[in-house]
Amino acid sequence: MELCAGGELFDRIIQRGHYTERKAAELTRTIVGVVEACHSLGVMHRDLKPENFLFVDQKEDSLLKTIDFGLSIFFKPGEKFNDVVGSPYYVAPEVLRKRYGPEADVWSAGVIVYILLSGVPPFWAESEQGIFEQVLHGDLDFTSDPWPSISEDAKDLVRKMLVRDPKRRLTAHEVLCHPWVQIDGVAPDKPLDSAVLSRMKHFSAMNRLKKMALRVIAESLSEDEIAGLKQMFKMIDTDNSGQITFEELKAGLKRVGANLKESEIYDLMQAACVEFGFDDTRLEEMIREVDQDNDGRIDYNEFVTMMQKGNPVAGGGKRGLENSFSINFRDALKLT
């Protein structure tokens, strides 16, 4: 086991402040190099995302390491898998269709490259199911800022990594041979739009809030309590979406005789900041990162506003946008 004290990928980029397309190409080379090494050993990672890339130390030339091989699996050439694993923003369409191979890792890496260049994921929506629909059917956006100022070579690579047909998608080796990724290649050494760093910071803050909420749940419960909550979850989740909205949660808590005030929930989350080592990133600070109207809360409209320039709002209606901030308990409770 090795200590990686240099922080997460996005945090390092945000801290440095100066960020170029060439630096994005360098990071891509490292990320896809890991994928190629794994595939050459017959291993699929199956959960590639920015949070799973850590720097060894704080030095400028620190190595970038890949972590969390908990979902990785050995594969044989031509072998197909059908269990749906991974994280919503980064999961490949063939994984959702339950027939996939190592090409799925290249898709996930392609999503990371898209975020490295624009600050936002290519496919997103107000719910997990909405994200999956976009992954399966949504269009790549190369017209909104900052894409007009991104090189054609970078866009060419992203397109070829995010081809929905895995047979037509680049392999990890082919990605590393692309001219944009090459050392001293064609990636321009000019700063990316400052909005990219801003969006990346917001996106990272949202993920951190969700991670903290899930950790509060998981760390506070015994195995027996978790087993009981699986049944409670299914009872509260009236639309079987795999998520509990604020309204469903309120109704469900009343049904089981619980009555928590919003202030009490806030106090619990604030205490968790200290208990789980978020002293340097207080809850208020994380909320301020994305709270546009300074009301101390994050609603979906604020998330949409934050992402608007990077991506148009994904298709679908606006039912319940005002109160659709939800916590995905499926991850915390290991629901299948």
- Residues with catalytic annotation? 47
For residue 44, list its beta bridge partners: 73
The secondary structure element, H or E, covering residue 155 is: helix 152-161
C-alpha distances in angstroms, 331 versus 27, 85, 94, 136, 196? 28, 11, 21, 22, 29
DSSP line for 203-215: HHHHHHHHHHHHH
Q: With beta carbons less than 8 A apart as the criterion, state whether 43 and 59 touch.
A: no
Contacts of 281 (CB under 8 A, 6+ apart): 208, 273
Instruction: Select from 160, 10, 36, 153 the least CA-distant residue to 105.
Output: 36
How many CA atoms are closer than 13 Å to the CA of 52, on its beta-carbon side? 21
